[in-house]
Amino acid sequence: MRYFLELRYLGAAYCGWQRQPDQPSVQQTLERGLTTLLREKIEVTGAGRTDTGVNASYYVAHFDCMKPVADPAQIVYKLNFLLPGDISVWSLTPVADDAHTRFHAREREYRYYIEPHKNPFTRHLTWQYYVPLDLERMNRAAALLLEYEDFTSFAKLNSNNRTNICHVRHAAWTVDERGVLCFTIRADRFLRNMVRSIVGTLVDVGRGRYTPEDFRAIIESRDLSRSSAGAPAQGLFLSDVRYPAEIFTSGLKNHS
């Protein structure tokens, strides 16, 4: 039987999603809890990797087990009891046997938060950046991302990507009543460190180091050395993963 898990987590205490031999990961922590509850060795596959310190306000993982789970809600309750406070599971749903959280994902969404004031309560959740930023310039530059497919300029070196082609479907900055900036970007796939690199470069557009046309030239250069340093990890959240409705046999949030 195959099941999808919906969850969320804070990334500060983890080396990222993916299991590592000598560091704590979200994947490893989930596997330990599920193995304890289901009394068989469970291996979990996630919708994608998140890097060290990156958060997920919405994440999906799948696993297989020998016997059907009689009471998914009870397993969710017990799993949350076993998991540390920075990981929360809220659904366990049976899916088609070939459903895959990574390969069947149609679209992923990330959000990045920048706070213009010092705030001790959100310092682990936002980039607290005090230089004034021109949101209109940043949005003009962000809109250019939709015109391109090759994002080598924002791809971490030595990542063993088969391709640096991504299809960005939305990229825009908004600001809330408290002055917190949010960059939302949606694409079919993302390269390792891509969003943080884009955000860092767009911030340099916003503070006047680059123009929007400079940003275009950086994209077209396909040269990582032309982009800015990546934004800090704590401001980044994986915020959505969308799937075709037909892979579900019941219940999970409709992402069709």
Task: List the domains of the chain with CATH numbers.
Answer: 2-103 (3.30.70.580), 107-238 (3.30.70.660)
Q: Which residue has the higher pLDDT, 160 or 133?
A: 133
Per the CB < 8 A criterion, the answer to whether 10 and 55 are in contact is yes
Taking the C-alpha atoms of residue 202 and residue 171, their distance in angstroms, rounded to an integer, is 11
Distances, alpha carbon 187 to alpha carbons 109, 149, 168, 238, 249, in Å: 7, 10, 4, 12, 26
- CA distances (Å), origin 11, targets 17, 52, 107, 132, 208: 8, 7, 21, 28, 31
Tokens of 22: 């000598």
Which residues are CB-contacts of 14 (< 8 A; sequence separation ≥ 6)?
23, 24, 25, 26, 29, 52, 53
Q: What is the mean pLDDT of residues 179-195?
A: 96
Above 50 in pLDDT, residue 251?
no
3-state helix vs strand vs coil in the chain, percent to 5: 30, 25, 45
Mean pLDDT of 175-195: 96
H/E element, 30:
helix 26-38
Quick one: tokens of 102?
A: 């990574």
pLDDT digits (tens, 9 = 90+) for 5-21: 999 999 999 999 999 98
Phi then psi dihedrals of residue 213, to 5 deg: -70, -30
- Look at phi and psi of residue 58 and say left if phi exceeds 0, alpha if psi is from -120 to 50, else beta: beta
Residue pair 62/2 in contact (Cβ under 8 Å)? The answer is yes
pLDDT at residue 244 greater than cutoff 90: no
Q: What tokens does 128 get?
A: 């607290």
Enter the pTM of the model: 0.92
Query: Known catalytic residues?
Result: 51
25 pLDDT above the threshold of 60 = yes
pLDDT at 161: 75
Is pLDDT of 256 > 70? no
Report the range of poorest mean pLDDT among 47-51, 124-128, 167-171, 180-184. 47-51
- Whether 149 and 220 have beta carbons less than 8 Å apart is answered as no
CB 172 within 8 A of CB 142: yes
Residue 81: CB partners within 8 Å, gap ≥ 6? none
Residue type for position 223: D
Distance between CA 59 and CA 154 in Å, rounded?
23
Helix (H) or strand (E) holding 81: helix 72-82
Rg (CA), the chain: 19
- Cβ atoms within 10 A of the Cβ of 156, count? 15
Compute the average pLDDT of residues 230-234: 96
| Model confidence band, residue 96 (pLDDT cutoffs 50, 70, 90) | confident
pLDDT of residue 252: 41
